[in-house]
Chain A
Amino acid sequence: MNVKNSSWTVLFISHIKRDVLVNTRSLIDVISVFGFMLLIIILFPIGIGPTKEKLDIVSNAVLWISLIIAIIPSLEKMLQKDFDSGWLDQIATSPAPLEIILLAKSISHWLIVIIPLILASPLFAILLDLEFNQIPWIILSMTIGGLSISLIGIIGAALVLGARRGNVLLPVLIIPLIIPILIFGVGINEAVKIGNSPLSNLFLLIAFSLIYLVISPFVSALLIRIAISR
């Protein structure tokens, strides 16, 4: 009898691997998020005009906003497919708590969707004429903020699980929750731009990320248990 029961960590990591595998099989999905963000970033300077002064004021905000908007379509997919296929039922028979598995889901979303966008951010920064010294801070703030967006996103996805037009409803529901991340994320980059310390904004971003890190798995697990019981 070869019985070796895995600890939660192993289970956690293997679920991330599984999610990444499922969602990256279709290359189109991966590239389309990137393309969407690129589209928004190109449209802004064209709309505003190429003058450096005008772009300077909005470029950090444009970067963050395009990231948020580009991610929103992918949020609903986090759960809908697994719910429809019955995979969430199977997860409910796992020895690991649902909360842990949903945390794994948020992290895999962050890895699949957000990290590639962050890695492409130097390119976007160049398009928006941002200084090179800002890029490390941009990457840092988006990495932390991006995780919060995934954590909030899975709550949104769980709220609309089984709803009509859930993909339209989801953005309306999560926009209020994402606003603090936008404010502090841009705040960090703006502070760096004018030479102030970005630390106060950074610590606030980290603080709220930690809050979401705790409440997101529990709230989304609650919602999924409700969904499974239908």
Chain B
Amino acid sequence: MLTLKKLTIQRGSKVVFSNLNAEIKTSALTIIKGKNGSGKSTLLRTIAGFTPIDEGQIKENDDNIFINKEQWVKKLIFIDTKNGLSNELTVLENLEAWVRIKGWNANKDSLLMALESVGMQNYINLYISQCSDGLRKRAALARLYFSFINKVDFWLLDEPSNELDDLSFLLFEKLISKFIKIKGTILIASHDIKSFNVNYNTFDLDIIKQLAKP
């Protein structure tokens, strides 16, 4: 269980959350809903350790997740709309660089299998600059495959399915099911939920923020 306790986060002069209390189930898929600007991305970025917490805590089973920050970020994969891909590298090279930066083994076989898991096996030598938005998103999502051969507990995905066509979306759902089966936790921020054929919990940020008002 991931617990948000009295969470207060400011970004600049804007207060995004004030005194937020909530619980998010782990080992499950949770879809975070909310209006534009409600703080979905901020919540994900905070859990990922990018945005500092002003007051309050985020706990996983009673332990503050940032007690040992290096250990925490190691076991999560964060993908947002920017994707983190370099235009000058190919799909394969990008994935390889990413796997290496995570400190994992980047042998050719696992890279190829990862790209296959998102249907990108024919595009491995395409430069990202030549890729459409859908291809780029899939190139980024290929990283998720490595959760099955390394210790990863959390997926934090910000609007992952907007650019996916129907076939890719099915492949994405397959990855989701597989990850949940091995007790992984997935948080997806989306303002537009496509029909997921997987069980998911809904986390309505607007409602939860209303409850936080004194």
Direct contact of A and B (CB under 8 A): yes
Measured CB to CB, the residues of A under 8 A from B are 1-6, 10-11, 14-15, 18, 21-23, 25-26, 81-82, 84-87, 89-97, 101, 228-230
Residue pairs across A and B with Cβ atoms less than 8 A apart, 22 shown, are: A2-B149, A3-B151, A6-B100, A11-B100, A15-B97, A18-B89, A18-B93, A22-B88, A22-B89, A85-B87, A86-B82, A89-B48, A89-B50, A89-B84, A91-B101, A92-B48, A93-B49, A93-B73, A94-B102, A96-B101, A228-B50, A230-B12
Binds A, one of B24-32, B103-111, B192-200: B103-111
Judge whether B74 is part of the interface by a CB distance below 8 angstroms. Answer: yes
Contact of B50 among A11, A14, A92 (CB under 8 A): A92
Judge whether B132 is part of the interface by a CB distance below 8 angstroms. Answer: no
Bitwise interface map of B from 11 to 34 toward A, beta carbon under 8 Å scored 1, else 0: 110000000000000000000000
Which residues in B have their C-beta under 8 angstroms from that of A25?
Answer: 88-89
Min distance, Cβ B175 to any Cβ of chain A, angstroms: 18
Bitwise interface map of B from 48 to 92 toward A, beta carbon under 8 Å scored 1, else 0: 111110000000000000000010011011101011111111000
Min distance, Cβ A10 to any Cβ of chain B, angstroms: 8
Known: A89-B82, A90-B84, A95-B102. A229 touches B97 (CB 8 A): no
Known: A2-B105, A6-B104. 18 other contacts (CB 8 A): A3-B104, A5-B104, A6-B100, A11-B100, A18-B93, A18-B101, A86-B83, A86-B85, A87-B84, A89-B78, A92-B73, A93-B74, A94-B101, A94-B102, A95-B73, A229-B11, A229-B50, A230-B11
Contact of B51 among A87, A91, A229 (CB under 8 A): A229
Min distance, Cβ A158 to any Cβ of chain B, angstroms: 16
The answer to whether B110 and A94 touch across the interface, beta carbons within 8 angstroms, is no
The answer to whether B73 and A15 touch across the interface, beta carbons within 8 angstroms, is no
Which residues in A have their C-beta under 8 angstroms from that of B89?
Answer: 18, 21-22, 25
Which residues in A have their C-beta under 8 angstroms from that of B48?
Answer: 89, 92-93
In the bound assembly, the distance between CA atoms of A96 and B73 in angstroms comes to 10
The answer to whether B149 and A85 touch across the interface, beta carbons within 8 angstroms, is no
The answer to whether A97 and B70 touch across the interface, beta carbons within 8 angstroms, is yes
The answer to whether A18 and B102 touch across the interface, beta carbons within 8 angstroms, is no
Q: Which residue on chain B has the smallest CB distance to residue A4?
A: B105
Which residues in A have their C-beta under 8 angstroms from that of B102?
Answer: 93-95
The answer to whether A93 and B78 touch across the interface, beta carbons within 8 angstroms, is yes
The answer to whether B88 and A21 touch across the interface, beta carbons within 8 angstroms, is yes
In the bound assembly, the distance between CA atoms of A83 and B47 in angstroms comes to 19
